[in-house]
Structure formats: C-alpha cells, structure tokens
Structure 1
Amino acid sequence: MPSPVFSSPSVTARTVSTRATALLGARVGLVQVTVAGVLWGTTGVVVQLVRESTGLGAVSISFYRLAIAAVVLLLLSTVRLSPMLAALRLSPGPLVLVGVGLAVYQALYFLAVTTAGVSVATVISLGLAPVLTAGWEVARARHLPRARTLVPLIAGVGGLVLITMSSAHPSAAAPRPLLGLLAAIGSGIGYAATTVLSRHVAQQVAPRDLTTLSTALAALALVVQCRSS
C-alpha cells in the first residue's frame, strides 16, 4: 500500500502565492486593456473637436499627439535611456517597423474619423484588428479555431459588413464615407500587423521601452512624411 504524500507548509504557501500572483496579474491586465479601449474609443471624439477648433488635418493631429506622448514618455523614462538605446541597437529594424506601423494606422484612423465619422471609424478599425490578428494566429497554427473563438470572429466580420453597408452615404458627420471606410480598413490592417510585430519585439524589449521607442519613432516618421509632402 503506497504511503500518503503530504505537502509541506512552505510548498503549499508558495503554490497559493503563485496562484494569487497569477490571478492578480490577469485582473490587472484586464483593467489595463479596458482603460486602453476606453482611451482609444474616445480619441476619435477628441480628434473631431481638435479639427473643428484648429483646422488641423489628420496627419498633423496624429503628429502632435505622438510627439507630445513621446516627450512625456521620455521624461518618465530618463532612467531607462541606456536600456532603450541598447534595445534600439539590438533590434533597429523591428522597432522602426513598429514605429512606422503606429504612425500609419493612427494617421489612417484620424483620417477615417474626419471623413466617415467617429462611430464608423472606431468600430471598423478597432473591430477589424482583432479579427485579422485571430486569423493570423489560426493560419500560423494550421488548424481550425475552437467554437468559442470562431463564433466571435464570424459575428465580428458580419457586424463589420453591416456597418460598412449602412455607412455608404455622405452626411454632415461623414462627408466622404468611401474614403473614410478605406482609411478605417487600412487602419485596422495596420493595427493588426503592428500588434503581431509588437508582440514579437516585446520578447526582447521591455513593454515600457517598446512603447516609448515606438511612439518617438512614429512621430519622426510623420515628420519625414510631412517634410516630403
């Protein structure tokens, strides 16, 4: 008859502590994603207000937003300048791609807001990105997703199609709906691609450093674009 196996109090305490830490991390992550979604979802409204009060275009607003954010992040990360420069030397190509991707999808999103309206631009750009990201993961895994993944994807695609069909007519809030729809779709594609690439880069670069570097590089990319045009 096998003898019973008893866990020592220290092992049990470590197990409980590990589970509590994992649960806390999951809850913190959920809060962070929720706050990010609220901030991103209300950005379109702010863009409309800034455009109406200043007359700035989508690219200009995008540049100022990124430039201000880059300055704030750099000021908050002064003690991290050496690691950030080391990361930039280690992975310059991927970091530049993430920065350019951020600049492109944000500028396209702002263009969609000013031409197709806040609601359409936000729903399409934010709704398309997770659908494309999930599709990429399915293609990489080379097997069909589970029902709990497939059903939301189908519902998301169906919702995007309905919104696209119902927003094809010009209005005061959407003076150029077709251009806005194309810009929103391009923003969603860019958002998805940048997200996939960022996850790969985040395995080598700390998240805060990645955010600071990509924001600064995105602002520089828009400066180059504005000077060339």
Structure 2
Amino acid sequence: MTHVSVRRGLLYVSIAATAWGTGGAAGALLDLTGGLGPVAVSFWRFAAGAVLLLLASRLFGLGGNARRPGPPRNLGGVLVTGAGMAVYQTAYFAAIAESGLAVATVVTIGATPVLVAAGGRLLLGERLGAAGLGSVAVALAGLALLTLGDGSSSFSASGTGWALLSAAGYAGVTLLNRAFATEPYATATGGFVVGGLCLLPIALVQGLLPSGDPLVFWTIIAYLGAVPTALAYGLFFVGLGAVRATTASVVSLVEPVGAALLGVLLFGERLTAVAACGGGLLLGAVVLLALNERGRAGAPA
C-alpha cells in the first residue's frame, strides 16, 4: 500500500478532480471529430488507461511490485471497482440522454458526497462534524448554481434514476477503496480492464471505431487515457489512503468547475454570473473542507 500524508492526499485528489474535468472536453472532441459514442469513448478511455498504467508500472516501478507480474492480491476488490466504474460511466451517459447534461451532472455529482458521507458514517465510522457538514452543504449549493445557472434544464424521473445509480456506483468505488488497504495503481489498472470488458459489448453495438482522421483520434485517446484516466484514478486511489472518503468526494466536486472553464475556453460556451458565483462557492467550500481535514489530522506533512 502506498502511504501519503493528509496534505499530499488532498493534493492528489485535487489534481485527480482537475484532470477529470478535462475528460468531458476530450470526449466531446472525439464526438465532433469522429462521431464516437459515449460508451465507446469510455471503453477506449479504460483500455488506454490500463495500457499506460501497465507501462508506467514497468518503467517507474509504481506500487513497488512491477517486476512481479500476476493477479492483484485483492482480486475481489478489483472486480468490484471495475464493475462500479462501468456502472457509473454508463448510467451517467444514460442520465444525460434522459435529462440533459446539467441535471445529470448536478444529481450525479451532487448525490455522490451525500451517499459517501452516509456510507462513511455507517461503514467506516467517519465523522465530519459541524464544519464538515456545513462545507458539504455549501459545496452542493455551489454545484447547483454552477450547473443549473443558465436555466436550461429538464426533469425526467428515469434520468434522475440513472443519475442516482451513477452516484451510487461512484460512491461504492470510493468507499471500497477507502475501506481496504490496496495497492492503488494495481487496483486502478485492474479496474480499467474489468470496466473496459464490461463496456465492450455496448461499445461494439454503438460503434467502436471513429469515422474521422485516425491521427486525431489516437492523439485524443492517448490524452484521455493518460491524464483524466491513468493519472487521475491512480492519484485518487492513492489520496484515499490518507483522506476521508467524504472529503475526497467533496474535493472531487472541483471537476465541473474545470469542465465549465474548458467549455468557455474551447467551445465558446457562456458562463453566467449565477454559474460563476456557484463555482466560487464550490471552490470555497472545498478549501474549507480541506483545511478541516488537515486540522483533524493534527499536523501538516
């Protein structure tokens, strides 16, 4: 197991969330340039992430056992992690199809820390305290303003159900990898393999190969596999060894902030004043919760 300090754990989770925020832009580019569907994008994301993490393990000795290949010791945890990844990816895309991006995002990402907080309290004995609970509430309010600030949203019962399923899958992966001492890079690699195999049948039906320029496709896939996948999930699982599950899930809420900024910079989207205020609230809540986490740990790194 890779051990890190609370400060470094918070940094790793923050980097992971920021990297995840670029994944949506990369997926949108794949759709624009090659007409690739979301499940197929997720399959290639997992496949590329697994290959890149395996290469990194061989080259840099990630996890300390790269020279002894074989199945991971916590095979059951890897299988559940991979299945959970596949579930929350697919359910999130189904929620977008039913309710639109805004509602799917606010329900999925907003419900996750609530589910993690409940699971962390019941299963892991984690206590947030008044400051922590207040930070979670402010973060969720900021997320709602950021995501729904333009007023373009529609409610769908089925879409909300898919979004809640996605949140449950993500929460389950977070709690599982917080509860058990696993090697994070091996878990991430195995999870990508299992998740990719789960998504492959749907991706084959949807269309696995793009219709555009292969060079553009593979360049974007390489980025998607390297940064929002291999790097992000590896760091997130390492950070979970030092940071409480609920804190990690709230810090991960910076993902839609990064995605919103990329939408403005790359796709010409407009960020309303309400959405900008929501982003500021969210980031402020994340900072307060991070300070609370460091104070709970008793000392900086």
| Structure 1 and Structure 2 fold alike (TM over 0.5) | yes
Deviates more, 1:32-41 or 1:72-81: 72-81
Q: Whole-Å Cα distance in 2 between the matches of residues 44 and 179 of structure 1?
A: 22
User: Is 1:198 matched up with 2:177?
Assistant: yes
**Per-residue deviation, 1:184:** 3.1
Query: How far apart are the structure 1 equivalents of 2:124 and 2:199?
Result: 35
Seen in structure 2, the aligned counterparts of structure 1 residues 157 and 25 have a Cα distance that, compared at 3 Å, is: closer
User: Structure 1 92/25 Cα, relative in aligned 2: closer, same or farther at 3 Å?
Assistant: closer
Which residue does the alignment assign to 1:53?
Answer: 33
Report % sequence identity.
Answer: 32
How far did residue 195 of structure 1 move?
0.9
Moved more, 39-48 or 152-161: 152-161
Name the counterpart of 1:19.
none
Partner of 1:187: 166
Kindly indicate whether structure 1 or structure 2 has the higher relative contact order, using CA contacts under 8 Å at least 6 residues apart.
2
Task: Please report how far the alpha carbon of residue 214 of structure 1 lies from its aligned counterpart in structure 2 after TM superposition.
Answer: 1.1
Residues 199-224 of structure 1: CA distance to partner in whole angstroms, max 9, x if unpaired?
A: 234x1x31111111111221122124
Task: Give the aligned partner of residue 218 of structure 2.
Answer: none
Q: Which secondary structure state, in structure 1, belongs to the residue aligned with residue 5 of structure 2?
A: helix
Question: Which residue of structure 1 aligns with residue 241 of structure 2?
Answer: none
Distance 1:51 1:143, change over 3 A: closer
Aligned equivalent of 1:136, options 106, 111, 119: 119
Cα displacement (A) at 1:137: 1.9
Instruction: Compute the displacement of 1:146 (Å).
Output: 2.0
Deviations 1:9-38 (A, max 9, x none): xxxxxxxxxxxxx9x833322221111111
Secondary structure, aligned partner of 1:77: helix
Q: Higher helix share goes to which structure?
A: 1
Closer/same/farther in 2, CA of residues 119 and 28 from structure 1, 3 Å limit: farther
Q: Is residue 150 from structure 1 mapped to residue 133 from structure 2 by the alignment?
A: yes
Counterpart position of 2:266: none
Q: How many residues align?
A: 197
C-alpha contact (below 8 Å) 1:44/1:110 kept by paired residues: no
Residues 150 and 132 (structure 1), Cα distance of their counterparts in 2 relative to 1, 3 Å cut: same
Query: Given residue 31 of structure 2, which amino acid in structure 1 is its aligned partner?
Result: R
**SS in structure 1 at match of 2:134:** helix
Written as runs of structure 1 = structure 2, the 5 A alignment for 1:79-228 is 80=65, 85-87=70-72, 90-113=73-96, 116=99, 118-140=101-123, 146-155=129-138, 168-169=153-154, 180-201=159-180, 203=181, 205-226=182-203
**Which structure has the greater CA radius of gyration?**
1
Q: Amino acid of the residue matched to residue 31 of structure 1?
A: L
Aligned alpha-carbon RMSD (Å): 3.6
Alignment of 1:39-50 (within 5 A): 39-50=19-30
> 1:188 & 1:219 partners in 2: Cα distance?
19
Q: What's 1:10 paired with?
A: none
TM-score by length of 2: 0.54
**Higher mean displacement: 180-189 or 39-48:** 180-189
Q: Distance in 1 between matches of 2:124 and 2:86?
A: 29
Q: Distance in 2 between matches of 1:196 and 1:64?
A: 26
Q: Which runs of 5+ in 2 are unaligned?
A: 207-301
Q: Provide structure 1 residue ranges, at least 5 long, that are not aligned to the other structure.
A: 1-21, 171-176
- TM-superposed CA distance for 1:127, in Å, is 2.7
CA distance, structure 2, for counterparts of residue 82 and residue 104 of structure 1? 32
How far the C-alpha of 1:158 sits from its partner, in A, is: 5.6
